[in-house]
Amino acid sequence: MSLFSKLNLELRRRTHSVVPAEAMLLEPASAPGLNDLRERLDRWGQLWSAGKESPDTSAQELITERLTHWMRLCFGERMPTSLHGNGDPVSLSSSMPILTAFLGRRATRELSRRVLQGI
Amino acid sequence: MPRFVRSIWIVTAIHLAIGMVAYAHFLIFRRYEFIAQYFAILGSLFFLLMTAAEFSLALICRSWFDADELMRFAWSMIALAGLARLAGTGIRIGADGHLPWDLRQWFIPYRGELFANLGQLGMVIGGPLSMAFLAFGLGRVLSIQRRFRLPGSLTHGDKALIVLILAFSISQLAINLPLLRGQNSLGTILLWMSDPLLALLLVQAVLVRRSVIRIGQGLLAKCWGMFVVAIVTTSLGDAAIWANNHNFLPESLTALSWYIWFIPAAAFASAPAYQLAAMSSTRDLHQVNAL
């Protein structure tokens, strides 16, 4: 047995689990909790893709307005229409890839934080 | 206008204003002393300042991208192009000894055979080598633009311009290739690569310009637009040298054509400044408050 294997075995023997065994037993989530999670995921999904069936139109409009502002500032006044066509609204899902490509992940992360501020 | 870009063009405007005084002196008195001093001292310092700004700003832009991001390579190449221009300018200024404080004492005397002299080495580093780096960088920018279908279709005028550029490059190669048999230094041969590389950059500039026209005048569009301005004005400077070599320009216009070279230097420095402004605008509270 190599020295490394011996050390590894010894380390495993001495290492104790950081999570108590009783905490590892997963309890099934309650129905209201699951519903709440589903609603949140649906809402974020709609905000991400700017779905027209979204019930939260004011948040949607705010996101579109903010994204359009950044797209105009970074690329140009014709960018929102040239990228999305005249019909489709500007959404997070359609804008983030191009912003990430040209501004980088760090700047886009900051930008998305600004866009989603207060929503 | 972003802060850095404004500073670059204010310095350029002041520099050109002083240059116009020197030019007026030359026109009135028909003497080269004042204008020669202007280009040797202020001109050299201006090129050093602008290339240093271009390199450092491009390096900062590069640092905003992670190692696996595509634009990281583009900005690495653009930063290397800036570094090559800075090194080339430094070597040429040092070798020529134009500045009042003679820098030649700091340079090891060049005794190699690859280059005619140290000044030619500076010209190769600041010319074809820098252009090659920039061509790689712009090539990557164009490939990312194509991925998002940003470049618009070429017009007949664009196509005619590209054909003209290619025809000129081929004609220059046809002139230079037979000279390869002669006793030319490596430096001379590498300098012949300037024209084909500039042609490649011009073709790239035409394609980049189409995307700028399509999307508008945002900060990133202006960044790419500045590369177009820099490449086109470099070509104009080259054309002026060609016209002067063939005695097509009168003496007064020849002196005026030297001023062209300050514009690409400022434009090359402005391009990363616009990119940096776009990236740092995400942290700018004025922009956030404007929402």
- Is A23 inside any structural domain? no
Residue B7 to chain A, least CA–CA distance (Å):
20
Query: What size, in residues, is chain A?
Result: 119
DSSP A78: T
| A79 touching B (Cβ < 8 Å) | yes
Rounded to the nearest integer, the mean pLDDT of chain B is 85
Whether residue A95 is contained in a domain is answered as yes
- The closest alpha carbon to A71, from B209, B219, B228, B208, belongs to B219
CA angle B249, B254, B260 (to 5 degrees): 120
| Cα–Cα distance measured from residue B176 to residue B274, given in angstroms and rounded to the nearest whole number | 38
Find chain B residues with C-beta within 8 A of A107's C-beta.
64, 278-280, 282
pLDDT reported for residue A85? 58
Of the candidates A76, A78, A70, A82, the residue with the CA atom closest to the CA atom of residue A107: A70
Q: What is the DSSP string of B62-122?
A: HHTS-TT-HHHHHHHHHHHHHHHHHHHHHHHHHHHT-SSS--GGGSPPP--SSSSSHHHHH
Q: Does A119 touch chain B (CB under 8 A)?
A: no
Q: Which of A103, A108, A110, A112 to mutate to test the interface with B (most CBs of B within 10 A)?
A: A103
Band of residue B286 on the pLDDT scale cut at 50, 70, 90: low
Number of structural domains, chain A? 1
> Quick check: A73 and B281 CB within 8 A?
yes
List the 17-56 stretch of A: residues with Cβ below 8 A of B: none
pLDDT for position B50: 96
For residue B173, what are its two tokens? Answer: 């190669």
| Token pair recorded at residue B246 | 């063939």
**Of the candidates B234, B222, B223, the residue with the CA atom closest to the CA atom of residue B264:** B234
**Structure confidence at residue B38 (pLDDT):** 92
Give B25-81 pLDDT, tens digit per residue.
999 988 888 899 999 889 999 999 999 999 999 999 999 999 999 899 999 999 999
| Cβ neighbours of B109 (radius 10 Å) | 7
pLDDT in tens, B232-263: 898 888 888 888 888 888 888 888 999 999 99
Ordered mean pLDDT values, 10 residues apiece, chain A (119 residues): 65 61 65 80 73 66 84 80 62 82 88 81
Residues B173-180, mean pLDDT to the nearest whole number: 74
Domain range for A108 is 35-49+57-119
State how far the Cα of A101 lies from the Cα of B148, in Å rounded to an integer: 10
Q: How confident is the model at residue B206 (pLDDT cuts 50, 70, 90)?
A: confident
Distances (CA, A) of B192 to A39, A44, B10, B175, B238: 66, 58, 35, 10, 13
With 90 as the cut, is the pLDDT of residue B132 above it? yes
- Nearest chain A residue to B217 by CA distance is A76
Q: What is the model's pLDDT at position A47? A: 72
Residues of B near A (Cβ–Cβ under 8 Å) read 64-66, 69-72, 144, 147-148, 150, 212, 214-221, 278-283, 287-288, 290-291
Q: Which residue has the higher pLDDT, B79 or B286?
A: B79
**Residue in chain B nearest A113 by alpha carbon:** B282
Position A98, amino acid: I
Among B101-105, B188-192, B224-228, whose mean pLDDT is lowest?
Answer: B101-105
Between chains, do B144 and A111 touch, taking CB under 8 Å as contact? no
Residue with tokens 């501020």: A117
Closest partner residue to A79 (CB to CB) among B144, B215, B278 is B215
